[in-house]
Chain A
């Protein structure tokens, strides 16, 4: 059973640019959540998509956006990058978001903004 696939694994971008990250959940899972992990703030929730709809959103500025496609793959976009956006971005897959079986995380995308 394939796991959660995140691409790319590493990215280096310049301030002001934009970036798109991709997450393919486990087959059959319809919920994809995105988290930002930094040494200072820890793991913070960005948003959750379920069946192509944003179902929940964390306290991040509007520069952070996402979407989900009919095959449950999700993308996350960050526009006008700032140095503080440097982080490990993780997506989590679950069957319904209310996961008695837990959430499975992808390997993450390490974004560095210079």
Chain B
């Protein structure tokens, strides 16, 4: 069974600071996704990482994928309050009984002034 672990699960940051969210997964996969969820809302796609060494950046967020280490990171630069949300990573598991996407438990990010 593929497992996806995110840490930390809760993160309280000061505005202007940097931090990294980690996503480890237990078996080989070559696709990883990052999503953002605001309270009571759906999942918004942030990044799709398709290969080892992939790095994508959008605004203050940067995601990377190391398939050999089975690790993805989501780096937050100079956090602002608008980034407060829950961030999920999801690993591709096409055809598996757990579904095509296996999600981590999410990291609840709170950015304080």
Contact = CB atoms under 8 A, between A and B. Distances in A.
A44 B103 CA distance: 8
A102 B35 CA distance: 10
Given A42-B106, A107-B41, A102 B48 contact: yes
Contact of B100 (A33, A105, A107): A33
Interface majority SS (helix, strand, loop, mixed), chain B: loop
B31 interface: yes
A105 B100 CA distance: 14
Interface residues of B, number: 27
B50 A100 contact: yes
Interface of B: 31, 33, 35, 40-45, 48, 50, 88, 90, 92, 94-106
Interface of A: 33, 35, 42-46, 48, 56-59, 90, 92, 97-108, 110
Q: 4 closest Cβ contacts across the A-B interface?
A: A45-B99, A43-B103, A105-B43, A102-B48
